[in-house]
Amino acid sequence: MISTAVRVFIPAAVSFSMGIVIAPFLAGALYRAKAWKKKAGKGNAIGGGGTPLFDALHKEREVSTPRMGGILIWSSTLVTAFLFWIFAQSFHSFWQWLDFVNRRETWLPIFALAAGASAGLVDDFLEIKEGRGGLSLARRLTIVGTIGLIAGWWFYAKLGVVSIGIPFSTPLFLGWFIIPFFAAVTLLVYAGGTIDGLDGLAGGVFAIIFMTYSGIAFGEGQVSLAAFPAVVASATLAFLWFNIPPARFYMSETGSMALTLSLTMIAFASDTLSKGVGVFVLPLIALPLTATVLTTLLQVFWKKVFHKKLFLIAPIHHHFEALGWSAAKVTMRYWVITIMSGVVGLTIALLSRLP
C-alpha cells in the first residue's frame, strides 16, 4: 500500500515544485503584457444584461490583475506528465513504475485538460487584447459540448461504458444514451467554473475536489488515475500560493475550462470502469460548483418569470460578498464546505465498493 501511494505522491510533489518554479516567470510575463481586462464586468453574463453590483465590487482589481494564471496549472500538469512518460520510455523500470500516462485511465483526462486549456486561452486572449468579451457564451458551450460528445463516444465505443454506478445498488444502464448524458454532465460541470471570482476561491475549491477524486481512484486500485488528479491538485495548490489575496493573477477561462473538462473525465473514469460511483458523487464532492450552477439558473429563472432578482448577485458567493461578507470569509468557508462535502462523497464512494 505504501509503495503504491508513492506512485501518487512523487508525481504530485514534482507538479507542485514545477508550479512554484514557473509562477514568478509567468507572473512577470503577464504583467509585462498587461494581460488584464480593459473593462471591468461580466461581458458574457448568463441571461444577458449588466452586472452593476459585481462591477462595483471588482472594478479596480479586474483591470489591474492579470488573467491567464490558469496557464500555471495546466502547464505544470502537462510538463510533469510528459517528463514521467519520457523518462519511462528512456530509462529503467523505476520510471516505468512511476509513469501514470496510459490509454485506459489517463489519456482522456489529459486530452480534456489540454483541449480546455487551448480553448480557454483563445477566450482570454480575445478578452485581453481585443477587449470584446472573449468568445461568446454560445461558442464556449459549443466547444465544451463537442468535447463532451467526443469523450462520451470514446467511453461508449472504445471502453465499453454503458452505465453509471449507483451507491449500494446495481449500475443504471444507459446504453448509447451515455454519450449525450456525458455531454450534459460536461456542460454542467463547466458552468460551475464561474466560481472563479474571488482571490483564492476557485484554486482552493478545485484543489480539494481533485484530491478527493485522487482518493477515490486510489481506493479503486486505479493508481495511474489517482496520480493524475493528485498532480492537477498539486499544480492548483502552486497556483493558489500566488492567488491567495491579494492575487498575483487570476485563473480565468484557460484554467477553469481545463479543470472542469478534466474533472468530468476523471469522474467518469472512476465510475463503472472500476465498479465505482464517481459520477453519482460528483455533485456532492463538487458541491460549490453545484451551488454555482443552481443559483445562477435560479437567478435567470427568477428574473424571467418574476421580473426581479432572487439573489443580489449570482452565483451565490457574490451574493454573500454583496451582503457585506469579506472576500476572505467567503473563500475560506467555501474551502471548509468543499472539504466536508468531499469527505462525505469519498466515504460514499468507498463504502459502495464493500461487499
d(CA 32, CA 66): 10
* Bridge partners for 163 per DSSP: 173
Q: Identify each DSSP E strand in the chain by its residue range.
A: 163-164, 172-173
Three cell numbers, residue 281: 458523487
Phi, psi (5° rounding) for residue 308? Answer: -155, 165
Q: What is the pLDDT of residue 56?
A: 57
pLDDT tens profile 272-325 = 988 999 999 999 999 999 999 999 999 999 999 988 898 888 888 889 888 889
d(CA 324, CA 53): 12
Three cell numbers, residue 115: 483541449
Q: What is the pLDDT of residue 211?
A: 98
Residue among 12, 19, 176 nearest 98 (CA): 12
Q: What is the pLDDT of residue 42?
A: 59
Label residues 295-334 b or e (16+ Cβ within 10 Å = b). bbbebbeebeeeeeeebebbbbbbbbbeeeeebeebbeeb
Q: What is the pLDDT of residue 49?
A: 45
Q: What is the pLDDT of residue 103?
A: 85
d(CA 192, CA 3): 36
Residue 82 makes CB contacts below 8 A (sequence gap 6+) with: none
d(CA 123, CA 115): 13
Q: What is the pLDDT of residue 70?
A: 96
Q: What is the pLDDT of residue 92?
A: 74
Q: What is the pLDDT of residue 233?
A: 98
Q: What is the pLDDT of residue 164?
A: 96
d(CA 106, CA 81): 10
Q: Which amino acid is at 238?
A: A
**Mapping DSSP to helix (H, G, I), strand (E, B) and coil, where does residue 170 land?**
coil
Q: What is the pLDDT of residue 62?
A: 66
Residue among 257, 335, 200 nearest 44 (CA): 257
The residues spanned by each domain of the chain are 2-351
In the chain, which stretches have pLDDT less than 50? 47-50
Q: What is the pLDDT of residue 351?
A: 95
**CB burial of residue 207 (10 Å; 0-12, 13-18, 19+):** buried
Helices (H) and strands (E) in the chain, counts: 14, 2
